[in-house]
Amino acid sequence: MARNRRTVAPNRVLLLAASEALCTLPEEIGCDDCSERLPAYAEAAARRRRLPPSLRKVADHLDRCRDCREEWNLLRKSLRTPARVRGKIS
């Protein structure tokens, strides 16, 4: 019986997600912690300061997690957008 493409793709996504979760070491942070620390990471990156250990863990997580990297890229893009474009009220 031929496999339906729709059933193969979700299985692959699930396998990749499980693989990422299983590859997390005890000293690494997960997606929730990464997401919570992104504003501080963005501030440190903008000021080009040396990252403290807690934010180095964010950088390590971003290197290996595609979803968090996409969130980081969206945050960086929004920070580069002028305030008037974002709808800031003067």
* Mean pLDDT, the chain cut into blocks of 10 residues (90 residues total): 50 66 68 94 87 90 94 89 55
- Which token pair is 11? 């299985």
Residue 10 covered by a domain: no
Q: Nearest 5°: CA angle at 14, between 41 and 8?
A: 135
Residue 12 covered by a domain: no
Number of domains composing the chain: 1
pTM: 0.60
Residue 39 covered by a domain: yes
Residue 37 covered by a domain: yes
Rg (CA), the chain: 17
Which residue segment(s) compose the domain that 52 sits in? 27-86
- Which token pair is 1? 């019986």
Residue 18 covered by a domain: no
Residue 75 covered by a domain: yes
pLDDT of 46 reads 85
Half-sphere exposure of 57 (CA within 13 A, CB side): 16
